[in-house]
Amino acid sequence: MRPAKVQAFVAEQHAVDTTLYLLLDPLADCAVDDPLHIEALRQSLGNDAITPVQRPDLIHTPSACPVLVTLAAPGVSPSQQLLALSALRAREEQDRHKRFVCGWLTSSAATRHLSAHIVSLGQLPQEQGRGFFPIHEPLRLELLAGCLRRKDEGPWWPIRHWLLPTSSGASFVLEGVPERRTVPDSRMTAVQQDAPLVSALLSSWRRALRLPLTYAPARWTGPTELAPQAAAKAYVHIERARELGLGNPDDILTLALHSLLLHPNPR
């Protein structure tokens, strides 16, 4: 993620009636002397700029919950230094299992309402009631968005825009539109349940691309680290492996990786 990308997002989407936020996840590593550390941000921006996103599975460990950081109120310009630092941090951790920077958001809703809504995105239907998935995590959010036909169809509102760092090393913007709010379905739940397997396949894919393979006609050679919509592609190959009768995760990953790198005619 280049700083110019984040700066362009802010210039285009931080309207006079919206607040600009940075979403951070303390479960990822961040040094205490890092300017993006939550306590450092509390000191530089003020306590009111820090709003926890109270995950129901971490309700007894509030310090581990995600945090919405108010970077700029309506009509106010954000710190260019913080924008640049957060963009560079997102770029550095694109291949990590846990990502500290989970995106940049704009909304005109009250911060507490926005925080509650981010939690609600992870409450997906299961056979018995609803389960919770940490949808704020970039990979999980990318997978959720991949279940939709269009980037403005999701259950994003009252989030107006969400700049999301993706698995490929690029980014895309989710757009919240009130009349297009999508009701979560069982397919979204199934995809979220496979997020750890998708993450493992993405990690193997990245490592393989760094090797001097002599024969890999399907390997990605584009400008980003992985192919566009990498998470969705990984999930599709996992599903195809299952359709062929594979059930062991190692077997599924092996066949999926073969399809992404070696198969001369990947479907």
| pLDDT confidence of residue 151 | 61
User: What's the confidence (pLDDT) of residue 129?
Assistant: 65
Residue type, 6: V
Q: Is the pLDDT of residue 267 over 60?
A: no
Cβ 35 vs Cβ 112: under 8 Å: no
How far apart are the C-alpha atoms of 222 and 204, rounded to whole Å? 18
CA 252, 256, 259, 261 torsion-angle sign: negative
pTM of the predicted protein model: 0.93
Is pLDDT above 80 for 1? no
Residue corresponding to tokens 């919509």:
229
CA angle, corner 192, sides to 187 and 197, nearest 5? Answer: 120
What is the C-alpha to C-alpha distance for residues 145 and 35, in angstroms, rounded to an integer?
30
Reduced to 3 states, what is the DSSP secondary structure of residue 156?
coil
pLDDT in tens, 211-236: 887 777 778 888 999 999 999 999 99
Give the tens place of pLDDT for each residue, 105-144: 999 999 999 999 999 999 998 877 678 999 999 999 999 9
End-to-end CA distance of the chain: 29
Give the tens place of pLDDT for each residue, 86-106.
999 999 998 888 999 999 999
Q: Look at residue 264 in the predicted model and tell me its pLDDT.
A: 52
A 10 A CB-CB count for 149 gives 7
Question: Under 8 Å CB-to-CB from 9, ≥6 apart: which residues?
Answer: 104, 161, 163, 173
